[in-house]
Amino acid sequence: MKIITYNVNGIRAAIKKGFVDWLEATQADMVCLQEIKIDSLQFPYSLFENLGYECIVFPAEKAGYSGTAILTKVPPKEIIKGCDIEEYDKEGRIVQAVFNDFTLMSVYLPSGSSSEERQDFKIQFLKDFYTFIEAKKNENLIICGDFNICHQAIDIHNPKSNAKSPGFLPEERNWFTEFLELGLLDTFRHLNTEPHHYTWWNVRTGARSKNLGWRIDYQLISKNLEAKLQRAIILSEAYHSDHAPSMIELED
């Protein structure tokens, strides 16, 4: 079973860059999307339904902003949109698809880089998200998405110069360590210990061509699922966004 996560930075923009044909070639069973930047009525359901996917869409109330989605070829037994906290749910931050053996989440955590106010919002989100997952830690979870945090120095191209940058602050990194201690596994880092693997690059500085990036997109799984994990890779050849998608393969 192949599961992809991808911050598409606007689903319409990604489609114009060949996203649909690329997705078909991946033969992914499930796809978690972030920053879809589109409302439910405008979402191009038929493009993905033609590939065999059911589309679960959770947009932000604000037009052209945020939002998450799950595309799945396996019908879920339950769909859960949001976390019952209005200030997060109106930004479309969390959507879940519940299956017999696990719960799949597509999550988009706040960036915090635009202002002190948004950084404060992000820190509160981290606290609430920890509590949200803590209540579900006895479930088999697959949490995919853009966390807007580099966990370790190996996950960022220049840890020294970014030591005070939102996304690499000590309190964010410590939160991530504690979050994993809920019984979660960072699939990519579990199977790949080499440096220079990133999932986001600053477009304005041309950082991608120099591979001066950040690994802020993750696929976390409950440790109960570790024996099923076969592969975890970053699909860095995909150029539909300022992010690269990641993929895990699990035994059915």
pLDDT digits (tens, 9 = 90+) for 93-150: 999 999 999 999 999 999 988 899 999 999 999 999 999 999 998 999 999 999 999 9
Tokens of 196: 């220079």
Q: Is 123 helix (H, G, I), strand (E, B) or coil?
A: helix
pLDDT at 251 over 90: yes
Reported pTM? 0.97
The 3-state DSSP class for residue 215 equals coil
Percent of the chain with pLDDT over 70: 100
pLDDT, tens digit, for every residue of 7-40? 999 999 999 999 999 999 999 999 999 999 999 9
Smallest CA-to-CA distance from 103 within 132, 131, 78 is with 78
The CA dihedral of 236, 239, 245, 248, to the nearest 10 degrees, is: -60
Integer Cα distance of 74 and 252 in angstroms: 12
For 137-174, how does the pLDDT look when each residue is reduced to its tens digit (9 = 90+)? 899 999 999 999 999 999 999 999 999 999 999 999 99
Residues 6+ apart with CB under 8 A from 204: none
The pLDDT value recorded for residue 113 is 84
Judged against a pLDDT cut of 90, whether residue 204 lies above it is answered with no
Q: What fold is seen in the domain 2-250?
A: Deoxyribonuclease I; Chain A (3.60.10)
Q: Where are the domains of the chain?
A: 2-250
pLDDT at residue number 252:
87
Question: Mind telling me the catalytic residues?
Answer: 146
